[in-house]
Structure 1
Amino acid sequence: MSTLQGRIDSEYVLAYKAKDSVRLAVLRHLKTAAKNLSVEVLRPLTDDDYLGIISRQIKQRRESLEQYQKHGRPELAAVESAELEVLLGYMPTALTDDELAEAIDRLAVETGSQGPKDMGKVMAALALAYKGRYDGRKASEAVRARLSS
């Protein structure tokens, strides 16, 4: 059992006992997504698998939050925001903007990237080295800016 799986399982029980409906709903979604992935790949899940699941859930919540705010639905936006905060608690410490820029500079040199056509190389190296520690949209913009200059 991965450490994230153990943490999710134990916190699920605590949320159930505490009647914390937001945390319970989020953890229920995570457990379901993990079970589906486990059946799909036919092996026990690793922490990296769990980080991928959590990252996708975070992305979904951010997109939903943006749509709810855009269309004037503050009550639904509040629910998505609360769920997003719970999910972010399971991710590793995020890179600061300066750390992200430094990592991109270093990886661009290591991969020998010359221009925008090599953006995929840098993004792949970034994903391997810092999985779950950065916002993909922000990283993509930073890599594009770095390789365009």
Structure 2
Amino acid sequence: MSLKLRISDDMKTAMKAKDAERLGTIRLLMAAIKQKEVDERVELDDAGIIAVVDKMLKQRRDSVTQYEAAGRQDLADKEKAEMDVLTGYLPQPLTEAEIDALIDTAVVQSGAASMQDMGKVMGLLRPQMAGRADMAVVSARIKAKLAG
């Protein structure tokens, strides 16, 4: 079953269960997918949908940080609930060891020797890790590896 079909089925299930919060989040996701398809005039595959979900999760993480800094825990909790729904559409996350192994392989493949080669390493890793790891954490690990 394609990811898009699964999201559509989940939306119908949420409607039938009258789960307004889950339904709202799924509708936001479907709207973001549709917008991307219309803008680029393509039919998104699973990888494209994962990229949309990943972007939405990043936006929610940023919002949670800002809401908590402003003392608006109610809004932060709403964003966290949306993050839980969105996370369900991502593939199984990578373990710490898997991330390190992929970084090591990418460094060797790209011939990276210094911080100036970081873009090459990220270019190799991004398609492999999309939706499976926080790229900010991966970036920090690459910097540590190349600096050390």
Aligned length in residues: 148
- Matched with 1:55 is 54
- Matched with 2:104 is 105
Q: Is residue 85 of structure 1 aligned with residue 84 of structure 2?
A: yes
- Matched with 1:27 is 26
Give the 5 Å matches for 1:109-148.
109-148=108-147
- Matched with 1:41 is 40
Q: What is the SS of the residue equivalent to 2:67?
A: helix
Distance in 2 (alpha carbons) for counterparts of 1:73 and 1:43: 39
- Structure 1 residue 19, shift from structure 2 partner: 1.2
RMSD: 1.1
AA at the equivalent of 1:118: D
Distance in 2 (alpha carbons) for counterparts of 1:81 and 1:10: 22
- Structure 1 residue 130, shift from structure 2 partner: 2.2
- Structure 1 residue 119, shift from structure 2 partner: 0.5
Q: Deviations over 1:78-124 (max 9, x none)?
A: 10111101111110111122221121011101111111001011111
- Structure 1 residue 58, shift from structure 2 partner: 0.3
**Is the Cα–Cα contact under 8 Å of residues 114 and 146 in structure 2 kept in the other structure?**
yes
Distance in 2 (alpha carbons) for counterparts of 1:92 and 1:58: 14
Distance in 2 (alpha carbons) for counterparts of 1:146 and 1:3: 37
Distance in 2 (alpha carbons) for counterparts of 1:128 and 1:80: 26
Q: What's the TM-score once normalised by structure 1's chain length?
A: 0.95
Q: Deviations over 1:46-68 (max 9, x none)?
A: 11110111001000111111111
Unaligned runs of 5+ in 1: none
AA at the equivalent of 1:35: K
Unaligned runs of 5+ in 2: none
Distance in 2 (alpha carbons) for counterparts of 1:38 and 1:128: 19
Q: Is residue 11 of structure 1 aligned with residue 29 of structure 2?
A: no
AA at the equivalent of 2:112: S
Q: Deviations over 1:11-61 (max 9, x none)?
A: 001011111122111110111111111111112111111011100100011
Runs of 4+ with >6 A deviation: none
